[in-house]
Amino acid sequence: MASTISKHDTATQTMNFATRAIHVGQRPDPATGATIPPIHVTTTYTQQAPGQNKGYDYSRSINPTRENLEAVLASIENGAAAASFASGLAATTAIFHNLKPGDNVVAYSDLYGGTYRLMENVFRHWGLDARYTDDNTPESFKQHIDGNTRLVWLETPTNPLLRLLDIQAIADIAHDAGAKLAVDNTFATPVLQKPIDLGADYVVHSTTKYIGGHSDVVGGAVICRTAEDFEPVAYYQNAAGGVSGPFDCYLTHRGIKTLSIRLERHCHNAMRIAEHFEHHPKLESLAYPGLQNHPDHELAKRQMSAFGGIVTIVVKGGRDGAFTMSQRTRLFSLAESLGGVESLVNHPAIMTHGSIPVEIRESRGITDGLLRLSVGIEDADDLIADLEQALDF
């Protein structure tokens, strides 16, 4: 089953983030003394007698490499336990499977297209009632929650419009109504934001993004505030079997070790780009929570330690302008995903949010001229120069 934090790892909980990211889940191999634990690629484990083993029987259920990753994920999110999955959507599915037909989920309307697709095209047929608010205030969530609400789902900052939601206030509202709060922390990462400390019951990650950080591994994770909430997640992980493989766990764990230092550079570069292009004549608008004119800037200052590595722009000329710019960049690769060391430019309307019907997508502000920049850790001056030449058309 998925892992809780061991006694060794519990002892590191008093240490600061960067130290835990390196040391939790990384104990020297007892057989060889190897500082980096070996990758356990075995599918099964030899037993002394039927049912008598060393704590491991089958790698879908339990694997030492996955245990190590889950231990550090729980630690850096200040959770009781974590479960690692084969993708971010697999992790999201694990949360939704805690619900029953007829239950209601309340979410802010600006969210990842894959999450919308999962709620509308998979779980609604199964009996889930998904409701969306276009107002990001806690009061709006309170108005949408009723006696059937079992889960409130947040992304903050949101994807791709970068709005902020008040985790603590919404957690209080959800709990007063007997509902759980889940926060997709993929954009902020535990470096910048700690949802569990603010009242969230579940934290979800696409570890494909900043957690892994190198665009070479797909994965997801659920971190739970309590052992009680973790039990059904762990049961689902084993029963449904959407686990991450040993090599994927190793790559993700390796990425976590540099997460803190990478986020410093992501945030620095994104702020430089936001400040430089805030009033660019080829842009209709630019959104970045670190700018004082952002509508949620004060909440971002209070809830996050820095403002993230994503900048969203709307290019003049609509679809044609966005297409032209996105194909002229040289350092920003036109690609899905985000959070890697290299910079990416994404066209949400066609790429990450293409599963949302056009009339709904456009009503939420995801227009054909909108581009999402995942700012990497290259030299900021080079990235600015690349965007300048891409807009020179």
Q: What is the DSSP string of 242-268?
A: -BPPHHHHHHHHHHHTTHHHHHHHHHH
The pLDDT tens digits of the residues spanning 279-296 come to 999 999 999 999 999 999
Q: What is the pTM of this model?
A: 0.95
The two three-digit tokens of residue 107, written as one number? 């979410």
Residues 207 and 248 occupy one common structural domain: yes
**146 labelled catalytic:** no
Q: Clarify whether 392 is annotated catalytic.
A: no
Residue range of the domain that includes 137: 3-256
Do 322 and 371 have their domain in common? yes
Nearest to 235 by CA among 128, 18, 83: 83
Residue pLDDT, tens place only, 362-373: 999 999 999 999
Residues 198 and 273 in one domain: no
pLDDT above 60 (res 9): no
Q: What is the reported pLDDT for 14?
A: 81
Among candidate residues 209, 225, 361, 372, the one labeled active-site is 209
274 and 129 share one domain: no
Q: What is the pLDDT of residues 41-67, one digit of tens each?
A: 999 999 999 989 999 999 999 999 999
pLDDT tens profile 99-154:
999 999 999 999 999 999 999 999 999 999 999 999 999 999 999 999 999 999 99
- The domain that holds 136 is classified in CATH as 3.40.640.10
Q: What is the CATH number of the domain that holds 339?
A: 3.90.1150.10
Number of domains in the chain: 2
Q: Residue 346: which of 316, 321, 317, 313 has the closest Cα?
A: 313
Cα 8 to Cα 227: distance, rounded to the nearest angstrom = 18
pLDDT at res. 101: 96
Look at residues 234, 256, 278 and tell me which one is the last residue of a structural domain. Answer: 256
Q: Cα dist. 307→144, 272, 351 in Å?
A: 28, 12, 24
The alpha carbon torsion through 264, 267, 270, 275 (nearest 10 deg) reads -110
Residue type (1 letter), 71? A
The pLDDT value recorded for residue 214 is: 98
Reported as a single tens digit per residue, the pLDDT across 316-347 is: 999 999 999 999 999 999 999 999 999 999 99
Inform me whether the pLDDT recorded for 155 exceeds 90.
Answer: yes
pLDDT band of residue 6 (cuts 50, 70, 90) is low
Is there a single domain that holds both residue 233 and residue 277? Answer: no
Sequence-distant (≥ 6) Cβ neighbours of residue 279 within 8 angstroms: none
C-beta separation of 152 from 182 below 8 A: yes
Evaluate if residue 5 carries a pLDDT over 60.
Answer: no
Catalytic-labelled residue, pool 66, 108, 112, 361: 112
56 carries an active-site annotation? no
For CA atoms 19, 190, 86, 58, give the dihedral sign.
positive
Q: Which of 103, 184, 201, 248 is catalytic?
A: 184
Mean pLDDT, residues 71-90 taken together: 98
**For the chain, what is the mean pLDDT?**
95
Quote the CA–CA distance of 99 and 1 in Å, as a whole number.
20
Residue 313 has pLDDT above 90, yes or no: yes
Closest CA to 322 of 330, 334, 310: 334
What one-character DSSP code corresponds to residue 197?
A: G
pLDDT of residue 367: 95
Q: What is the pLDDT of residue 10?
A: 59
- Of 256, 277, 308, at which residue does a domain stop? 256
Is residue 60 part of the annotated active site? The answer reads yes
C-alpha to C-alpha distance for 24 and 44, rounded to whole angstroms: 25
CA 324 – CA 320 distance, rounded (Å)? 6
> Checking DSSP bridges between strand 310-315 and strand 283-287, what pairing results, if any?
antiparallel
